[in-house]
Structure formats: C-alpha cells, structure tokens
Amino acid sequence: MEKSHANVAAPIPRSKPPEPINQRHTKEADQTGGRDLNPYLYENLVSNFEGQIDHWERQAACLRDGGLATSYRLKVEGLKYALRLLDTFAEEFRELTDCALNHAPRGKSQTLTVHALVDARRASLGRKS
C-alpha cells in the first residue's frame, strides 16, 4: 500500500523574530532625528508604578491562596518603597533628565545611562567627570 502525501502540509515559512522594542525605538529615533529620552519619564514612571500597585493589590485581594496573596503584597510594598524613593529624589531626577535632554546630540540616537546623565549634569555645572 502506498502512502499518501496529500495530508502532509508544507512547512510554514518562518519570519524573523520581532526586534526587541529598544532596538526598534533606536532605529525610529535615528530616522526621525529624535532623542531617546522621554521628557515625561518621571511622570510615566510614577503612573506605571501606581498602576502596577493597584493591579497587584486587586490580585492579592481576590486570591484565596495566602502564600500567593502575601507574595503580591510584598511586591506592592517594594513598589511603594521605590515610589517613595522616586518622590524623594524627584527634583534631582528632573534635573538629570533635563540636563541630558539639553546635552544630547541632535539627529543621533544615544542610549542614556546613569553615567551619561551624571556626566551631562556635571558638564552643565562646569565640572569635569
């Protein structure tokens, strides 16, 4: 008896895996001449932290498993602590981001690290790194 190959599907061609979001963003910034640093970074961080805190609090309230609920509550406490730290250093955070925006080269994408932010701040104050 001959085997029928009619039921065998042709292999599906695989496309390239999607690029990581940070690489895609960098390419878009290169094309548009934009900058990598969002001027509303502080507000976005606070908003995202608060949203995640609310979500985890709702999750913990709905769970019957005490261990898992405790895990969510601990995560909430950690994010609340991070939010308090962010609030404490809000002025410094804004100074660093403003300084980085003012000293970032135009038309050239730049990944800003903490060191780059500090160097930009020192440059604005006239200090050497």
Residue 29, domain member (yes or no):
no
Poorest-pLDDT segment among 61-75, 77-91, 92-106: 92-106
Would residue 12 count as lying in a domain? no
74 and 113: one domain?
no
Task: Provide the whole-model pTM.
Answer: 0.53
pLDDT at 12: 58
Domain hosting residue 42, numbered range: 37-88
Rounded CA-CA distance 2/4 in Å is 6
Looking up tokens 């930009």 gives 120
Residues in the chain: 129
Structure-block tokens of residue 90: 């809000």
CA distance 52 to 55: 5
Give the number of domains in the chain: 2
Does residue 17 form part of some domain? no
Q: Please state, for a pLDDT cut of 70, what percent of the chain lies above it.
A: 56
Q: How many other CB atoms are there within 10 angstroms of residue 96's CB atom?
A: 22
Amino acid in position 117: L
| Residue 87 pLDDT > 70 | yes
